[in-house]
Chains A and B, each alone.
Chain A
Amino acid sequence: MENTSQKNINNEDQSMSQDTTEKSKVILESKKANVYYGDMHAIKNVNIKMRENSVTAFIGPSGCGKSTFLRTFNRMNDYIDIFRKEGEFYINGKEIYQKDVKVEELRKTVGMVFQKPNPFPKSIYENVAFGLRIQGIKNKSVLDEAVEKSLKQAAIWDEVKDNLKKSALALSGGQQQRICIARALAVEPKVLLMDEPASALDPISTAKIEELIYQLKENYTIVIVTHNMQQAGRVSDRTAFFYIGELIEFGKTKNIFTNPKEELTERYITGRFG
């Protein structure tokens, strides 16, 4: 099971639908993924492929396992004692739960933005420079450059450029979240996992973050969990609908929203659920 090779993945590389990202490389993939918290079966036999430079939205009712599944891809569930997984999870063709995978290295490739903004109680600059600092980069001009670039990417440079020494905690929630995004971008990951990044934000901050996701797509593979159907519709290329741990439907966002194949999906996106 550990030996699933690149070859194997390429063979299965025919996708279920046709969109602009169809021909691009599969970056994230799970095979027969199952996740348990103790006896609780949180993810049930999920197979999914997400391609390079695409945005995938995870939707579904609360508690259906979106966060759980998202966090298996940067192994953030490892810290939960009762967490257990079966099946395989690939990033760029590499099974990430194999023994030779260093989680620290993995997380430099797979960045994460959390639901609640969680900047460090340090200056804006130090927040964004953190990822590079822990990689041992000390050169001031390298750090300066990376900080500026990431803050610009995260669309918050203009708001903070004169106050880089200010504590990140003194910013508004929306600004904090963009600082967190900048922090994740600074180490130039390949993949960005975003767990409801805009759920705590006002419409203006939300719009900024959506705009940001749209631009980041050029260089990153993005997975975003959201409860906001319009948001999923606006930012994502593909949408995955989860229901009680199962992946019910996965396809082009346009199709999912206009012409879902499953009745459950339709009922969920139209708000007739219960």
Chain B
Amino acid sequence: MNNSQINQIKDKAFQYFGIFCTLIGIVLLVIFIGSILIDGLGRIDWNFLTSLPSRKAEKAGILTAWSGSLWIFGLTAIFAIPLGVSAGVYLEEYGKKNWFSNLLEINISNLAGVPSVIYGILGLEIFVRTFKFGGSLLAGSFTLALLILPIIIVATREAVKAVPHSIREAAYGMGASKWQTTYTQVLPAAGGGISTGIILALSRAIGETAPLIIIGALAYVPFVPTSPLDEFTVLPMQIFNWTSRPDHAFVVNAAAGIILLLGITFLLNGIAVYFRNKWQKKVKW
């Protein structure tokens, strides 16, 4: 056998291996989603969505959980987006490039990889204890905002960096100040990338449980939160709580909850993709 034949065999082998790996992922996902749909789809109805939790599985609803998730989503967005985008823009456009900014850059990237439990402990110490927010929505969303801040900062920097220098030159050349250039040209041009990053970060926040458990969010909350200082639960915690019950009826509830959570996550990802495509079409260099 000569060299090229060996290469061809290697090529084929790798191709089949690749297909195999891809299939494993897809098959597992299909099985997982399929079994959950079978278990839980029948359980989702208006009653389920609008009922408070209960000790009886058939009566238990998911209202407090999804409204808690919605609150968390909104508050986290309000805290994390302005901070993250401003920080990203500052670092990329304004900050001087020196050893300190390099250090910052490395640290921010590392922060994006820190386990979420650690953020929970930080949140517990700062927001729950020092600021005395207790196990409230405020403490939870501050903690999650910290958690996703690095993701938003990194995404913003990447998006801003991708805006061609010639656009900035054009704006400066017209007598635009730095801020005008950033605000009227760079940010809109980077908007697709930034909003994609934001949505992906937020969909991560929605799925988080560990940090919220640590700051003391409750699994059983018999009311819908009406202010940021209320105690709360969220979908993943409710699901976790239900799956740990021995009664099978609760497992069905959990499956229904997972469908809801998956639905929300897919929806958010869908929106992210939509934004990205729309922007890419508009901003083509």
Contact = CB atoms under 8 A, between A and B. Distances in A.
Which of A107, A108, A121, A122 has the most chain B CB atoms inside 10 A of its CB? Answer: A121
A133 B189 CA distance: 18
Interface in B104-131: none
Nearest to A109: B175
B167 A111 contact: no
B167 A107 contact: no
30 contacts: A76-B169, A76-B172, A79-B172, A104-B176, A104-B177, A105-B175, A107-B173, A107-B174, A108-B175, A112-B173, A116-B166, A118-B169, A118-B170, A120-B171, A120-B185, A120-B189, A121-B167, A121-B188, A121-B189, A121-B282, A122-B188, A130-B174, A130-B184, A134-B174, A134-B175, A134-B176, A134-B184, A135-B175, A180-B170, A183-B174
Interface of A: 74, 76, 79, 103-108, 111-112, 114, 116, 118-122, 130-131, 133-135, 167, 169, 180, 183-184, 187
Given A121-B282, A134-B184, A167-B282, A114 B174 contact: no
Given A116-B166, A130-B171, 17 more contacts: A104-B175, A106-B175, A107-B172, A112-B173, A114-B173, A118-B166, A120-B171, A120-B189, A121-B283, A121-B284, A121-B285, A169-B284, A169-B285, A183-B170, A183-B174, A184-B173, A187-B174
Contacts of B284: 121, 169
Contacts, number: 69
B180 interface: yes
Which of A118, A135, A167, A183 has the most chain B CB atoms inside 10 A of its CB? Answer: A118
Interface string B51-83: 000000000000000000000000000000000
A79 B173 CA distance: 12
